[in-house]
Amino acid sequence: MKIKTSIPRKIFIVCNTVFLLIIALACIAPFINLLAVSFSDKTAVAAGEVTFFPVGFTTVSYEFITNTSKFFVSLLVSLKRTAIGVPVNLLLIILTAYPLSKSTKDFRARSIFSWFFVVTILFNAGLIPTYMVVRNTGLIDSIWSLVLPGALPVFSMLVVMNYMRSLPKELLEAAYIDGASHVQTLLRVVLPVCTPTIATVMLFSVVDHWNSWFDGMIYMNHIQNYPLQTYLQTVVVNPEEFMRNNTDLGGNLSKYLSMVSARTTGAAQMFLAMIPILIIYPYLQKYFTTGLVMGSVKE
Amino acid sequence: MFVNLKRKDRLLRDLPLYFMLLPAVVLVAIFSYGSMAGVIIAFQKFVPAKGLFGDQQWVGFQNFVTLFSVPNIGLVIRNTVIIALFKMIAGVIVPVVFALLLNEVRSMLTKRIFQTVVYLPHFLSWVILSGVLINLLSPSEGIVNIFLSKLGMEQIFFLGDPDVFPATMVVSDIWKAFGFGSVIYLAALTSIDPSLYEAAVIDGANRWRQTWHITLPGISSIIVLMSVLGLANILNGGFDQIYNMYSPVVYSTGDILDTFVFRLGIEQAQYSLSTAAGLFKSGVSLIFIVGSYYLADKFTGYRVF
Amino acid sequence: MKKMKSRSVLPLALVVVLVVLCISACGKASTESGGNTGTSQEKMDSVGKYENPITMTWAVQTAAASKLLDNETYEDNRWSRLIKDKLNINLKVAFSADSSTDAYKNKLNAIIASGDLPDVFKTQDSNVFLQLAKNGQLADLTDVFEKYASDSLKAYKERFADSFKGATIDGKLYAIPRMNDNFHEAPFLWIREDWLKNTNSQPPKTIEEMVALAEKFATGDPDGNGINGDTYGLALNKDLIRQNHGSILGLVSAFGVPGRDESMFYRDENGKMTFAWIQPNVKEALSLLADMYKRGLINKEFTANNESALIEDITSGKIGMAYGSNWGTWYPYNNVYKKDGVIVHPYAIPTKSGYDYKMGIESNAVGQMTMVSANFKHPEAVINMLNLYDETVNYKTKEDYLKYWADEQYRLSPIYIDQPGEVYAVDLLKALDKGSSEGLAPAAKPLYDYIVGFEDGSLANDDNAFGTWGQMSKSGSLPIVLNKYIPDNAIVQSILGIERPEVWLTNVASLDTLTITAFTSIITGSKPVDYFDTFVEQWLKAGGQKTLDELDKMYPAK
């Protein structure tokens, strides 16, 4: 479909691009600042000289962290958590969204099940009761305590369910007439056209698992089982302690301490922690765009 | 099309659907509903040493009475609602507008770059962002105020002036969340049938009309869903954000229910009071969600869930 | 209608069944818990070594103990090996959590509620301790202490009788308390020595001189970088009334107010129960601060700065003067010393003529408690362990001391003699006068070496030496308390012990908020000074008056 570009349209496009550009700059500035701080000399950072470019460029903060075993131990826990948690989330989202995407006419219990799930968004029982349930299921100190309690992200499920509901009725009817069962319909007809929305909720899931820290703190008995964000939280809250107690460096500790500060190492750790998300994100984004083609369900 | 089935047949036909729901129902029943039984401590004088189902003293609604007899509680609730309401409204409008504007960008590459960039703040926690913002917004050294003073404007105490603080919270929250929030709308936009636009172009509709009559209706269901779900946050001012940026000087406009309850609880592990506050929040959210659900059903005939 | 009912039955029934199942599982599991193996009849030798090994679980507070050296772990380290070797006890970590954040507190409360208490654990929260003791969940240590404690331990109990009294409820000893004597909590004014010199000033003796010095610091060029006015006069942080650097405690003290966080209750000269922050003289102090703020002598952004933000400014050399506690040379001024080689000195607080200065300290009865679960079959093992600790750290070689105590390694022992070195300040000063550490308590000897080592330069770059020197040498902070504050009768101890009125527990957070908000508004000028009277009224109405009445009954006048 080709459209002739009119003059007002051109003006709009230019304004739009400039506007988006300003917004994009506002969003990225703090990150550039973070990155610059992580590569800067500590005195320059303390004096507030660092804005968007490193001052006194050095990679010593990164050396300091990558010599810390705790960082990598908890990185591993986080990777494991994400690798288990995201597939579990997706499986349950799909299994739940499909039945609930049926109309009330076709699946009479859908309304009550929907409310059954939605209510859980609203009621949070608080620390102690939640802890008791996880303890009684015997999951304390296991990676599953970080996966199973939130196995069904209700919000994501609703998003997928809504997407499934908006699929053309003819598609499902055709499958039904062909004699396909529910499972066959889900696998062969519905899922293939749901890629964009599943990519979206998968990203939500990844980010969620990657960024959660409170559950790790409560359900894990030993700090060597902390996921990365839980560990980072202790570092960010108490940077001075972290600095002084980084005994993995042995005799080099005092040498490093003269070169790095809590802020530079904090920035470096934040940045390292973001890398997995930055890697996975463009990959998933590809699916948003291919969704453009798949969104039209013409055979 | 399936209407004329008998009850037994229907059950048989629906059976696979029940099986699909089973794992999620079991897990949610255990982890969410199981722990919900714990809200009983809102009606007790809960002493952890006696155990969750131990011999706790029942006090009825005493905890709620205590909560609402605290001086300034009205102010705290007002602050919460104001901040949450603005966040909710802007939290729907800004991502939708952004998604629409971005959708107008033709170049795939440009689009991708914009997207990647605006999603970034979402990935940083408030612990980090607050540190960055406190530096940026500092009255004497912050870039923003230096810029303002170059324009000949007065300094603004973004975090230290009670009149400005709530606005700072709303804007910085939107700044963090709008990009990632637009992901859903962009995904929804991709599902609109292109043939609709082709037909509209043939009918001579311009871009505005296309947006108004095709794009917006095409994503309206997701907008309604997000708005209704957003109402659950009517008493959520955003604990992580405010806790990391507020100070006593802005308590009058910036202290929200969660920060207040946190300070209430932290001193002496007052789990009963904070559970009571949580229950109050949940109750109010439930009323709002049910209300909007039925309004949506009544006026548009659309069941959100 | 009938149809509608029937179709909702199936899922609803499912849900009900599951919830019931789950709840009954919860109930069952909690009654089953608490099964501990081992019998109390295990044999042991005279120093407490068991014939057959026993197991003890304990809770590790990590922030403080996160210094693991030589690739040790919380499970396997110098203390766990020593304890296994000498007492035949296998230590097991029940859980580890950061005690400098809320992590430890949250985890402990969850564990307490679920009934899975570790055998040995600690808390700072007097209410948690009180509840556990009253609910019979703690082992009564009275008899085992009498029977197994060494003479050295018993001497501690005499010397720190107040602390042990705090750990005793209804006549029974339920914990080994932190052994403390809180005189050292009094505030000081800390000033950079180079700034004093650059501005040709003397340490201020009066409030007026302090304000004048703040003006020099704020408007002049005390750091000598050629720029006037890029430094602060008097530094504050947003928490104002907490005991940390940048508080107003030292300043209100000059006006006769023994201010100290939210818990400073005491009987005034007429024997009437009262609270520090509602004293009329607070108004004078606030009025002075408001004036200083208006004149730009106080860092404008203090309302947004917590202590750690302030410390960044201290380290980067923007701050030259702040009220603070005795440990300044340990932290944060050790950073200044390391970076610029500059010493920040503590001085007695400047006074105000016409007022008797007063300073508030915590009750000695309050502090960290090390407790033993009632389910643990070997409470005597805890006392034996404490004996072992005392002997190893305090009566053995210097190598042992360095191995088992220094670098916070002592925290790897489930129980330790928990006491600040400050309690030995008097003895140390005497020893320094004598020039010999002979006769000092064993725990104080290393401190003597640190001070001497710092002064003769052999330990000039040692953090421990600088810290100790700034506290307990003759030019340190504590001699000021001993030689001036105490003789001047300025120290007022809070009456609030382990037992606290219910009304205070529920309202303390909002009372605290009320106080800080009111004070901040007055200092920044957003409320007039007379707003203080409204604050006092509000404070009394919001539970303050009831608290005072309850305290009057709870802690009757002697």
- The DSSP result for C13-45, as a single string, is HHHHHHHHHHHHHHHHHHHH-------TT--B-
Phi-psi region of C256 (alpha: psi -120 to 50; beta: other; left: phi over 0): left
Determine the pLDDT at residue B218.
Answer: 82
Contact between chains at C22 and B139 (C-beta distance less than 8 A):
no
- Tell whether B121 is within 8 A of chain C (Cβ): no
- Tell whether C9 is within 8 A of chain B (Cβ): no
Rounded to the nearest angstrom, the minimum Cα separation between C59 and chain A is 9
Determine the pLDDT at residue A286.
Answer: 67
A193 within 8 A of A293, measured Cβ to Cβ: no
Determine the pLDDT at residue A240.
Answer: 60
- Tell whether B128 is within 8 A of chain A (Cβ): yes
Query: What residue has token string 């003796």?
Result: C205
Q: What is the mean pLDDT of residues C284-294?
A: 96
Determine the pLDDT at residue B226.
Answer: 82
Under DSSP, the state recorded for A55 is: S
Rounded to the nearest angstrom, the minimum Cα separation between C60 and chain B is 20
B38 within 8 A of A129, measured Cβ to Cβ: yes
Contact between chains at B289 and A122 (C-beta distance less than 8 A):
yes
Contacts of residue A113 in chain C, CB cutoff 8 Å? 11
- Tell whether C92 is within 8 A of chain B (Cβ): no
Residue C106 is nearest to which of A132, A218, A234, comparing CB atoms? A218
Rounded to the nearest angstrom, the minimum Cα separation between B224 and chain C is 26
Q: For residue range C3-31, list pLDDT tens digits in order.
A: 444 444 444 454 555 554 444 444 444 43
Rounded to the nearest angstrom, the minimum Cα separation between B91 and chain C is 27
Contacts of residue A132 in chain C, CB cutoff 8 Å? 26, 30, 110, 113-114
Determine the pLDDT at residue B200.
Answer: 85
Q: For residue range C156-208, list pLDDT tens digits in order.
A: 999 899 999 999 999 999 999 999 888 989 999 999 999 999 999 999 999 99
- Tell whether B251 is within 8 A of chain C (Cβ): yes
- Find residues 445-504 of chain C whose CB sits inside 8 Å of chain B: none
Is the pLDDT confidence value at B184 over 90? Answer: no
Q: What is the mean pLDDT of residues B126-145?
A: 75
Q: State whether C254 and C297 are in the same domain.
A: yes
- Tell whether C22 is within 8 A of chain A (Cβ): yes
Is the pLDDT confidence value at C357 over 90? Answer: yes
Q: For residue range C230-282, list pLDDT tens digits in order.
A: 898 999 988 899 888 899 999 999 999 999 999 999 999 899 999 999 999 99
Q: State whether C223 and C96 are in the same domain.
A: no
Is the pLDDT confidence value at C552 over 90? Answer: yes
Rounded to the nearest angstrom, the minimum Cα separation between C25 and chain A is 7
Averaged pLDDT of chain C? 87
Is the pLDDT confidence value at C309 over 80? Answer: no
Determine the pLDDT at residue C168.
Answer: 94
Q: Distance between CA B276 and CA B40 in Å, rounded?
A: 9
Chains that touch B (3 or more CB pairs under 8 A): A, C
Give the closest residue to B170 by CA, choosing from B258, B79, B283: B79
Chains that touch C (3 or more CB pairs under 8 A): A, B
- Find residues 12-51 of chain A whose CB sits inside 8 Å of chain C: 43, 46-47
- The DSSP result for C7-19, as a single string, is HHHHHHHHHHHHH
Q: Distance between CA C463 and CA C450 in Å, rounded?
A: 10
Q: What's the CA angle centered on C555, arms C551 and C558, to 5 degrees?
A: 135
Q: How many CB pairs under 8 A join B and C?
A: 135
Strand spans (E) along chain B: 44-45, 57-58
Specify the range with the lowest mean pLDDT, choosing from B47-51, B96-100, C390-394. Answer: B47-51
Is the pLDDT confidence value at C413 over 90? Answer: yes
Q: Which CATH number fits domain A60-294: 3.30.1360.20, 1.10.3720.10, 1.20.1260.10, 1.20.120.1200?
A: 1.10.3720.10
Q: For residue range C320-337, list pLDDT tens digits in order.
A: 899 999 988 988 888 888
- Non-local CB neighbours of C177 within 8 Å, separated by 6+ positions: C160, C163, C164, C166, C167, C367, C368, C369, C370, C418
- Tell whether B34 is within 8 A of chain A (Cβ): yes
Residue C548 lies in a domain: yes
Q: State whether C336 and C224 are in the same domain.
A: yes
Determine the pLDDT at residue A223.
Answer: 82
Determine the pLDDT at residue C305.
Answer: 75
Q: What is the ipTM metric for this complex? A: 0.81
Contacts of residue C107 in chain A, CB cutoff 8 Å? 217-218
Residue C39 lies in a domain: no
What distances in angstroms separate CA C86 from CA C45, C47, C78, C83, one per listed residue?
Answer: 10, 8, 12, 5
Is the pLDDT confidence value at C145 over 90? Answer: yes
Determine the pLDDT at residue C388.
Answer: 95
pTM comes to 0.80
Q: Dihedral angle at the C-alpha atoms of C471, C472, C473, C478, nearest 10 degrees?
A: 80
- Tell whether C18 is within 8 A of chain B (Cβ): yes
Q: Dihedral angle at the C-alpha atoms of B215, B216, B222, B223, nearest 10 degrees?
A: 150
H or E segment to which residue C267 belongs: strand C265-267
Determine the pLDDT at residue A248.
Answer: 56
Give the closest residue to A201 by CA, choosing from A273, A152, A149: A152
What distances in angstroms separate CA C111 from CA A140, A218, C115, C252, C434, one per listed residue?
Answer: 11, 10, 6, 41, 51
- Tell whether B258 is within 8 A of chain C (Cβ): no
Contact between chains at C26 and B34 (C-beta distance less than 8 A):
yes
Q: What is the mean pLDDT of residues B126-153?
A: 78
Determine the pLDDT at residue C318.
Answer: 87
Q: For residue range C56-71, list pLDDT tens digits in order.
A: 999 998 865 456 777 8
Q: What is the mean pLDDT of residues A218-241?
A: 79
- Classified as helix, coil or strand, A21 is helix
Rounded to the nearest angstrom, the minimum Cα separation between B161 and chain A is 23
Indicate which of C111, C506, C535, C547 best probes the interface with B, i.e. most B CBs within 10 Å of its own CB. C506
Is the pLDDT confidence value at A68 over 50? Answer: yes
Q: What's the CA angle centered on B112, arms B111 and B117, to 5 degrees?
A: 100
Q: For residue range A260-299, list pLDDT tens digits in order.
A: 777 788 788 878 877 877 787 777 766 655 544 343 333 2
Compare C410 and A69 and report the one with higher pLDDT: C410
- Tell whether B59 is within 8 A of chain A (Cβ): no
Q: State whether C155 and C220 are in the same domain.
A: no
Amino acid at A60: V
Rounded to the nearest angstrom, the minimum Cα separation between C7 and chain A is 6
Q: What is the mean pLDDT of residues A112-119?
A: 90
Domain boundary among C412, C429, C447: C412
Averaged pLDDT of chain A? 81
Residue B248 is nearest to which of C18, C508, C517, comparing CB atoms? C517
Q: State whether C340 and C215 are in the same domain.
A: yes
Is the pLDDT confidence value at B199 over 90? Answer: no
Instruction: Give the CB-side neighbour count of residue C554, counting CA atoms within 13 A.
Output: 19
Domain count, chain C: 2
Contacts of residue C304 in chain B, CB cutoff 8 Å? 134, 138, 159-160, 245, 247
- Classified as helix, coil or strand, A203 is helix
Please give the residue range of the domain that contains residue C342: 184-361+493-554
Report the chain B residue with the minimal C-alpha distance to residue C102: B266
Q: How many CB pairs under 8 A join A and B?
A: 239
Specify the range with the lowest mean pLDDT, choosing from A29-33, A207-211, C216-220, C432-436. Answer: A29-33
Q: Is the peptide bond before B16 cis (omega within 30 degrees of 0)?
A: no
Residue C397 lies in a domain: yes
Determine the pLDDT at residue C30.
Answer: 40
Q: For residue range C373-389, list pLDDT tens digits in order.
A: 999 999 999 999 999 99
Residue C506 is nearest to which of B50, B66, B248, comparing CB atoms? B66
For the stretch B290-294, contacts whose Cβ atoms lie closer than 8 Å and that sit 24 or more positions apart, written own/partner, are: B292/B227, B292/B228, B292/B231, B293/B228
Determine the pLDDT at residue C354.
Answer: 94
Q: For residue range B259-274, list pLDDT tens digits in order.
A: 888 777 655 567 888 8
Q: State whether C100 and C227 are in the same domain.
A: no
Rounded to the nearest angstrom, the minimum Cα separation between B115 and chain A is 8
Q: State whether C348 and C379 are in the same domain.
A: no
Q: Determine what percent of chain A is predicted with pLDDT higher than 70.
A: 84
Q: What is the mean pLDDT of residues C272-296?
A: 96
How many residues are given for chain C?
A: 558
A232 within 8 A of A269, measured Cβ to Cβ: yes
Contacts of residue A135 in chain C, CB cutoff 8 Å? 29, 110, 114, 116
- Tell whether C94 is within 8 A of chain A (Cβ): yes
Contacts of residue C306 in chain A, CB cutoff 8 Å? none
Kindly indicate the confidence band of residue C122, based on its pLDDT and cuts at 50, 70 and 90. very high
Give the closest residue to A82 by CA, choosing from A226, A210, A202, A223: A210
Indicate which of C15, C261, C303 best probes the interface with B, i.e. most B CBs within 10 Å of its own CB. C303
Residue C7 is nearest to which of A109, A131, A247, comparing CB atoms? A109
Residue A217 is nearest to which of C12, C103, C331, comparing CB atoms? C103
Chains that touch A (3 or more CB pairs under 8 A): B, C
Q: State whether C170 and C189 are in the same domain.
A: no
- Tell whether B283 is within 8 A of chain C (Cβ): no
Kindly indicate the confidence band of residue C41, based on its pLDDT and cuts at 50, 70 and 90. low
Is the pLDDT confidence value at A44 over 70? Answer: yes
Determine the pLDDT at residue C440.
Answer: 87
- Tell whether C274 is within 8 A of chain B (Cβ): no
- Tell whether C137 is within 8 A of chain B (Cβ): yes
Indicate which of C24, C73, C98 best probes the interface with A, i.e. most A CBs within 10 Å of its own CB. C98
Q: Which CATH class is domain B71-300?
A: mainly alpha
Q: For residue range B272-291, list pLDDT tens digits in order.
A: 888 888 888 888 888 888 88
Provide the residue ranges of all domains of chain A, joining segments of one domain with +: 1-58, 60-294
Determine the pLDDT at residue C7.
Answer: 44
Contacts of residue C542 in chain B, CB cutoff 8 Å? 70-71
Contact between chains at B53 and C513 (C-beta distance less than 8 A):
no
Is the pLDDT confidence value at A146 over 90? Answer: yes
- Classified as helix, coil or strand, C274 is strand
> In CATH, what number is assigned to the domain containing residue C369?
3.40.190.10
Rounded to the nearest angstrom, the minimum Cα separation between A9 and chain C is 47
Averaged pLDDT of chain B? 83
Strands C172-173 vs C175-177: parallel, antiparallel or unpaired: unpaired
Q: Distance between CA C178 and CA C167 in Å, rounded?
A: 9
What distances in angstroms separate CA B62 from CA A31, B56, B65, B74, one per listed residue?
Answer: 48, 14, 5, 18
Compare A293 and A252 and report the one with higher pLDDT: A252
- Tell whether C8 is within 8 A of chain B (Cβ): no
Determine the pLDDT at residue B7.
Answer: 67
The winner for highest mean pLDDT among A23-32, A151-160, A206-215 is A151-160
- Tell whether A274 is within 8 A of chain C (Cβ): no
Q: CB neighbours (10 Å) of residue C39?
A: 9
Q: State whether C191 and C303 are in the same domain.
A: yes
Determine the pLDDT at residue C4.
Answer: 40
